[in-house]
Structure 1
Amino acid sequence: MNSKTLLRSTVLLAVAAGIAVSPVQAGAMTHRNPVEGVQFVKLDHPQPVSESARTEAVEFFWYDCVHSQALEQPLQSWAGRHRADVTLRRVPAIWPGGATEEVQRGHARLYYTLEQLGQVDRLQVDVFRAVRNDRADLTTETGATGWAARHGIDAQRFGETYRSAAVRQSVDEAAAAFTRYGIEELPTVVVEGEYRTSPTKAGGVEQMPGVLDYLVREEQAKAH
């Protein structure tokens, strides 16, 4: 008997017995673990990760991507649940040679400035809101500095960090990583340099944390 027949028979038996079966319960009966090639894929060229007891998750995002914005708070919650066993690293997306490359480089510079200043956790959602909802131009030093100052960051310190060699280098490395990891969709999260998932693969942004849970469990099981 296949799984569909089994589910139908179970539901019919429950109805006959006068037991209400909700769609959620019915769905639970057919729950399956995520499948490679369906909800996630293996990178053609797995990437090195730091030697750590924690599993590394790398998120590729763009401030002007509606799906990246939708994932931000669920991803923060997911990372909060995994503080003990997962290191979350973010990489702002830069499509080298793409029509949006200069805009993405501007957003990446803003991100890495906030990271250097230790302000990402506090302001990441606010940056998405400014770019996506308010259509603020945060791709220039003037625009980014003014926005940061309004959010409590010293303008002089922000500007010095924005122009720093460390931030410039991080932006260049982000562009290289985008190509190296074979990113095709935003947002994408890569687990332990080996597996990646995205909204299209996972079945929607809301399904991504569940897929990530599975990938983290699998990676940790391999380590033991």
Structure 2
Amino acid sequence: MKRFLSRILTATAIALVTLTGCFSESTQADNNLTYVNGTHYTTLSTPLPTRVAQDKVEVVELFWYGCPHCYHLEPIINKYLAQKPANVEFVRVPATLSPRWTFHAKLYYVGQLLDPQGTKGVHGKIFDALQKQNRRIDNDEALKRFFVSLGYTNEQIDGVLKSMELDSLMRFATDYSAKSGADSVPNLIVNGKYMTGPGMVGGENVIATLNYLTKKESK
């Protein structure tokens, strides 16, 4: 009986953890399954600039490769991408809340520049390497070895590492992370105005919440 209760408590604890997020320094948000500003989503005090046409709605995922909650959200994000409204433009932005997170942002953008169309699934492979295989990719040499293992040449990787595009993307990620005011991930920001995520609504409600906020911005 004690063993059974222990298993129940452990399962409950795991379930609660998967609904929260990776924090820098904060407490987790209250869960509420109603569309209420301040509970189901928050309105940013200072809207973030978007980079989409006026008739489009931007949805940004703020994430970190080292975050298991971001990894668990990936299947939901992929489901959302397969059915998102036509006027939504989805953008991933790696959070830069610490030096380690910043290096992982670099890892993301190197992968994006090497696989701009996503045909090789580099983003998912990076997540798997860090979350499933427990690989440490926290310096340039480890980064190069990883991308070589995916079939890229040292010349291709060095070209990206030295590129102005990488510098520009890293500056954007740093600026966006700071201006968002987020102290945890994953977070989803709709049209630079509203922030939500599984820590607020639970993973199973993320898509419905994004669709609700998109409709607000489509009027």
Q: Does 1:215 align with 2:213?
A: yes
Q: 2:36 — aligned with what?
A: 35
Unaligned runs of 5+ in 1: 1-31, 96-100
Bigger Rg, structure 1 or 2? 1
Question: How does 1:46-195 map onto structure 2 within 5 Å?
Answer: 46-49=47-50, 50-82=52-84, 84-95=86-97, 101-119=98-116, 121=118, 122-195=121-194
Q: Secondary structure at the match of 1:190?
A: strand
- Cα deviations by residue, 1:172-195 (Å, 9 ceiling, x for unpaired): 221121110111220001001100
Query: After the TM superposition, which of the residue ranges 123-132 and 56-65 deviates more from structure 2?
Result: 123-132
Q: Secondary structure at the match of 1:60?
A: strand
Paired positions, count: 184
CA distance in 2, matches of 1:83, 1:151: 32
Query: After the TM superposition, which of the residue ranges 134-143 and 114-123 deviates more from structure 2?
Result: 114-123
CA distance in 2, matches of 1:60, 1:207: 17
CA distance in 2, matches of 1:173, 1:215: 24
Q: Which has the higher contact order (CA 8 A, sep 6+)?
A: 2
CA distance in 2, matches of 1:140, 1:52: 39
Q: Secondary structure at the match of 2:171?
A: helix
Q: Secondary structure at the match of 1:89?
A: strand
CA drift at 1:51: 2.5
- Cα deviations by residue, 1:79-116 (Å, 9 ceiling, x for unpaired): 22126221111111111xxxxx2211211111111112
CA distance in 1, matches of 2:114, 2:175: 23
Q: Would the aligned equivalents of 2:34 and 2:40 in 1 still touch at CA under 8 Å? A: no
CA distance in 1, matches of 2:104, 2:69: 16
Q: Would the aligned equivalents of 2:113 and 2:160 in 1 still touch at CA under 8 Å? A: yes
TM-score by length of 2: 0.78
AA at the equivalent of 1:176: D
CA drift at 1:207: 2.0
CA drift at 1:33: 5.2
CA distance in 1, matches of 2:55, 2:84: 13
- Cα deviations by residue, 1:145-190 (Å, 9 ceiling, x for unpaired): 1111211223320221023222123212211211101112200010
CA drift at 1:120: 7.1
- Cα deviations by residue, 1:63-92 (Å, 9 ceiling, x for unpaired): 000111111121122022126221111111
TM-score by length of 1: 0.76
CA distance in 2, matches of 1:133, 1:123: 15
Q: Once superposed, which parts of structure 1, at least 4 consecutive aligned residues long, lie more than 6 Å away?
A: none
- Cα deviations by residue, 1:17-41 (Å, 9 ceiling, x for unpaired): xxxxxxxxxxxxxxx7522111101
Identity %: 25
CA distance in 2, matches of 1:37, 1:120: 36
